[in-house]
């Protein structure tokens, strides 16, 4: 089937049918908001900079946290973008249905203390109804019902009623608009103090049969897709509860892939242009059909989702490993190998799909074309390693075959689940493959029961061994405590000092800050000597002792570059940038850097810095750790 044929023409009685690719949807969205005074901000790496609480960028608002709290943004108060993001629910097992994906793109627009509900809500609907030609009769709105922290969002209800009436719909509460509690209609990224949040209003699009009217989208979850969420960020979490921020912000986010799904008239996200080319390739590799049976559909969805997420991660510099982001990538690749085998594809599954992903998304990420070969090599090495585990498992299965056949003969699913668990624990041999092996010799097994018993055992096991990486999935707020702000300014000073001591070729390759320390990666081919460390520390501490003011200026990018301000390696900057400098003025500053902030007001606030650890993390890459002396 060609990609063209995979779309459905969307028809409305009074409007012409339209056909839109995800690229066109995005272009229309950006144009819509640019016409309304918004400036586009970059789509940044999935790996968060300076946020130890979060493994992955998980929403479009991620880079905007400081500005929502009041820091001026160099591009102004109205912003728009598309941002790649990753979210994990309880675990990866949710992927496999018609809608859940690990990686997605969020289209977003923001008002940083500028417009509010009166503009945001009508615009959001105007875009979806008039630009995307979605049917307003299929839209159900939800709002915050109010509690001790904030009142019921009556203002949004009134605005929404006006919007619907424009499309000839009388929008009554509990028919078209549903007020819901905090768990559904309040948005905040995590639970720490300093967290920003507020009531939100969601737009749910009906994909079920019959009428949408009267159906609460949360209760009829399977019949709706959430296509947009306007968060009214106006509160900050403090020790005493939620208190009003000095400015009222709008944070709108909509899943590009989900919008594409309804615009393209599909009820399965995998049948849209973002995924379908990958499914086609898997069908070709496996000789099986997507809709052949539940097992093939699920395996193909998992493969399609995971390869996309893995390619994006690899594009952002993540390599398979045992920790943090690397651990996630490893798991994704391993699940691909397993699901490939479920479909009868024995080798090179991820490798064969990389070119399709690179091609499908080159319109958004032209760099993928260049990176394709490197990504293939990395995935191939990982697959070979995991393939060996699988071969070991298969040999063990052969050894225990008679025992296994005995249990299939007596339908002893408990014993079979125990063997499966044993193979899993000792060799990492996956359940799916084990079941596939048994089915070849005994087709009549109750695999659901074996899976259930296995999962019960696995549940106990998982609780004991939950990795740090998984816990971090739950997310949290970019920490803006006093300490992290101090370490942020200290990072600038350290960057400056390293360049003075080692030379101007030194560039930041990565930075990570917690409340206890800073970590800084830069290009250097050996560890620092004692003398070098001392020189760097002295330079930094002299400026801290001198009590130098810290300020910023917002400049056109060219001018900022000319000022000699340093900037992170490998990062795209918008046309207007903010430059933080440490000194009386930008010209004579000790340090000047492209940076969003926030920073301390004066270096005297920091306290003496000490470099306490260094690791060589690559051929020409050194990682140093520093903290404030107690």
# chain residues binding ligand SER, by CB under 6 A? 10
| Closest distance of CB 107 from ligand SER, Å | 9
Nearest residue (CB) to ligand SER, 258 versus 306 = 258
Does 44 bind ligand SER (CB under 6 A)? Our answer is no
Q: Which is nearer to ligand SER, 108 or 320 (CB)?
A: 108
User: Minimum distance between the CB of residue 116 and ligand SER, rounded to whole angstroms?
Assistant: 15
591 forms beta bridges with 582
Q: Which pairing describes strands 224-238 and 177-180: parallel, antiparallel, or unpaired?
A: unpaired
- Site stretch for ligand SER (CB under 6 A), options 234-242, 247-255, 328-336, 478-486: 247-255
Q: Is 67 exposed, middle or buried (CB count within 10 Å of its CB: 0-12, 13-18, 19+)? A: buried
Write down the least CB distance from residue 200 to ligand SER, Å.
7
Binding residues among 46-65 for ligand SER as defined by CB under 6 A: 59-61
In the complex, minimum distance from the CB of residue 87 to ligand SER, in angstroms, rounded to a whole number: 9
CB 147 within 8 A of CB 182: yes
Residue 150 C-beta: closest distance to ligand SER, Å: 17
Cα 432 to Cα 282, 398, 425: the distances in Å are 18, 16, 14
Element (H, E) at 570: none
Judged by CB, which is closer to ligand SER: 44, or 540?
A: 44
All residues at 6 or more sequence positions from 164 whose CB lies less than 8 Å from its CB, including other chains: 136, 141, 170, 171, 176
Cβ nearer to ligand SER, comparing 231 with 343: 231
Got the DSSP string for 425-482? HHH---HHHHHHHHHHH-TT--HHHHHHHHHHHHHHHHHHH--HHHHHTT--PPP--H
Q: Which of 153, 251, 257, 382 binds ligand SER (CB under 6 A)?
A: 251
* Near ligand SER by CB under 6 A: residue from 187, 232, 242, 552: 187
Instruction: Give which of 261, 363, 266, 350 is closest to 313, Cα–Cα.
Output: 350
List 46, 179, 231, 528, residue binding ligand SER (CB under 6 A): 231
253 binds ligand SER (CB under 6 A): yes
Q: Give the three-state DSSP class for 524.
A: coil
Question: Where does this chain touch ligand SER (CB under 6 A) — which range of 163-171, 250-258, 335-343, 386-394?
Answer: 250-258
Smallest separation, CB 186 to ligand SER (Å): 11
**How is 90-153 classified by DSSP, letter by letter?**
SSGGGTTSSS--SEEEEEEEEESSS--HHHHHHHHHHIIIIIS---GGGEEEEEE---SSS---
Q: How far is the CB of 42 from ligand SER (least distance, A)?
A: 16
Q: For ligand SER, which is the closer residue by CB, 255 or 430? A: 255
CB of 59 to ligand SER, least distance (A): 3
Grouping H, G, I as helix, E, B as strand and the rest as coil, residue 626 is strand
Q: How many CA atoms lie less than 13 Å away from 606 in the CB half-sphere?
A: 36
Q: What Cα–Cα distance (Å) separates residue 186 from each residue in 149, 150, 434?
A: 11, 10, 43
Nearer to ligand SER, 113 or 340 (CB): 113
Closest CB 242 distance from ligand SER, rounded Å? 16
Select the residue interacting with ligand SER from 66, 74, 108, 198 (CB under 6 A).
108
How many angstroms separate the CA atoms of 259 and 245, rounded? Answer: 31
Query: At 191, is the secondary structure helix, strand, or coil?
Result: coil
Closest distance of CB 187 from ligand SER, Å: 5
Q: Which three-class secondary structure state does DSSP give residue 44?
A: coil
Q: Judged by CB, which is closer to ligand SER: 74, or 255?
A: 255
CB of residue 141 to ligand SER, shortest distance in Å: 15
Distances in Å between the Cα of 439 and the Cα atoms of 197, 371, 422 are: 51, 40, 18
Q: Does residue 66 interact with ligand SER by CB under 6 A? A: no
Q: How far is the CB of 68 from ligand SER (least distance, A)?
A: 10
Q: Which two tokens stand for residue 610?
A: 């000490």
DSSP annotation of 70 reads: T
The span of 122-130, 208-216, 251-259, 425-433 binding ligand SER (CB under 6 A) equals 251-259
Q: Which residue, 228 or 596, is less far from ligand SER as judged by CB?
A: 228
Instruction: State the chain's maximal CA–CA distance in angstroms.
Output: 84
Buried b (16+ CB within 10 A) or exposed e, 467-494: eebbebbebebbbbeebbbbbbbbbbbb
Minimum distance, C-beta of residue 596 to ligand SER, in the bound complex (Å): 18
DSSP code of residue 564: T
In the bound state, the residue with its beta carbon closest to ligand SER is 253
Placement of tokens 């675990």 in the chain: 91
Q: Which residue's structure tokens are 């816990």? A: 471
* Complex with ligand SER: residue 50 or 229, whichever CB lies closer: 229
Q: How far is the CB of 230 from ligand SER (least distance, A)?
A: 7
Structure tokens, 81: 């973008």
Cβ proximity to ligand SER: between 79 and 368 the closer is: 79
Q: CB of 231: closest distance to ligand SER in angstroms?
A: 5
Nearest to ligand SER of 475, 598 (CB atom): 475
Which residue in 69, 111, 156, 229 binds ligand SER (CB under 6 A)?
Answer: 229
CB closer to ligand SER out of 231 and 478:
231
Binding mask 313-342 for ligand SER (x = CB under 6 A): ------------------------------
If the CB atoms of residues 61 and 132 are measured against ligand SER, the closer one turns out to be 61
The nearer residue to ligand SER, 233 or 565, going by C-beta atoms, is: 233
Tell me which stretch binds ligand SER (CB under 6 A): 142-150, 246-254, 331-339, 589-597: 246-254
User: b/e per residue, 271-306, with b = 16+ CB within 10 A?
Assistant: bbbbbbbbbbbbbebbebebeeeeebbebbbbbbbb
The residue among 186 and 552 lying less far from ligand SER, judged by its C-beta, is: 186
Site for ligand SER in 569-598 (CB under 6 A): none
Element (H, E) at 557: helix 557-562
φ and ψ at residue 44, rounded to 5 degrees: -95, 170
Contact residues for ligand SER, defined by CB under 6 A:
59-61, 108, 187, 229, 231, 251-253
């Amino acid at each position: 089937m060609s990609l063209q044929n995979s779309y459905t023409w969307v028809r409305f009685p009074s409007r012409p049918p339209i056909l839109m690719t995800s690229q066109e949807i995005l272009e229309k969205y950006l144009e819509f908001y640019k016409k309304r005074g918004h400036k586009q901000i970059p789509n940044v790496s999935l790996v968060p900079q300076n946020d130890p609480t979060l493994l992955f960028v998980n929403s479009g608002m991620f880079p905007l946290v400081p500005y929502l709290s009041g820091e001026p943004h160099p591009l102004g108060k109205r912003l728009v973008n598309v941002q790649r993001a990753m979210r994990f629910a309880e675990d990866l097992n949710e992927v496999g249905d018609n809608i859940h994906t690990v990686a997605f793109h969020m289209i977003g627009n923001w008002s940083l203390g500028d417009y509010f509900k009166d503009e945001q809500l009508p615009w959001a609907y105007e875009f979806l109804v008039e630009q995307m030609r979605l049917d307003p009769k299929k839209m159900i709105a939800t709002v915050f019902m109010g509690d001790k922290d904030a009142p019921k969002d009556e203002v949004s209800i009134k605005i929404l009623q006006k919007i619907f009436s424009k499309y000839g719909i009388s929008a009554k509460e509990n028919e078209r608009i549903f007020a819901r509690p905090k768990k559904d209609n309040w948005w905040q990224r995590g639970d720490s103090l300093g967290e920003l949040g507020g009531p939100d209003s969601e737009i749910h699009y009906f994909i079920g049969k019959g009428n949408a009217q009267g159906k609460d989208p949360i209760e009829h979850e399977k019949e709706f897709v959430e296509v947009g969420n306007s968060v009214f960020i106006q509160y900050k979490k403090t020790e005493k509860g939620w208190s009003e921020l000095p400015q009222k912000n709008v944070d709108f986010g909509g899943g590009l892939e989900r919008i594409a799904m309804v615009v393209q008239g599909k009820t399965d996200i995998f049948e849209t242009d973002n995924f379908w080319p990958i499914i086609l390739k898997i069908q070709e590799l496996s000789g099986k059909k997507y809709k052949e049976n539940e097992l093939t559909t699920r395996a193909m969805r998992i493969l399609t989702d995971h390869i996309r997420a893995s390619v994006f991660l690899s594009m952002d510099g993540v390599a398979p490993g045992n920790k943090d982001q690397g651990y996630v990538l490893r798991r994704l690749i391993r699940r691909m190998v397993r699901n490939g085998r479920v479909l009868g594809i024995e080798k090179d599954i991820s490798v064969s799909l990389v070119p399709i992903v690179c091609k499908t998304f080159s319109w958004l990420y032209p760099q993928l074309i260049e990176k394709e070969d490197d990504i293939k090599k990395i995935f191939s090495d990982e697959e070979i390693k995991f393939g060996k585990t699988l071969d070991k498992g298969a040999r063990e299965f052969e050894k225990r075959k008679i025992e296994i056949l005995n249990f299939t003969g007596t339908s002893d699913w408990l014993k079979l689940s125990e063997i499966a668990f044993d193979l899993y624990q000792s060799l990492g041999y996956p359940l799916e493959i084990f079941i596939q092996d048994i089915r070849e010799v005994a087709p009549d097994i109750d695999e659901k029961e074996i899976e259930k018993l296995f999962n019960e055992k696995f549940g106990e096991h998982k609780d004991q061994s939950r990795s740090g990486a998984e816990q971090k999935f739950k997310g949290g707020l970019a920490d803006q405590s006093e300490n992290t702000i101090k370490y942020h300014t200290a990072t600038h000073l350290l960057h400056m000092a390293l360049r003075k001591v080692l030379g101007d070729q030194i560039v930041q390759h990565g930075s990570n800050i917690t409340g206890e320390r800073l970590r800084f990666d830069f290009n250097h081919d050996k560890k620092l000597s004692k003398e070098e460390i001392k020189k760097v520390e002295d330079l930094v501490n002299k400026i801290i002792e001198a009590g130098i003011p810290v300020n910023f200026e917002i400049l056109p990018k060219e001018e900022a570059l000319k000022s000699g301000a340093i900037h992170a390696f490998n990062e795209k900057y918008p046309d207007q940038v903010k430059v933080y400098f440490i000194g009386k003025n930008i010209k004579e500053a000790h340090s000047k850097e492209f940076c969003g902030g926030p920073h301390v007001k004066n270096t005297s606030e920091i306290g003496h810095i000490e470099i306490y650890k260094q690791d060589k993390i690559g051929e020409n890459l050194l990682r140093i750790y520093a903290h404030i002396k107690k």
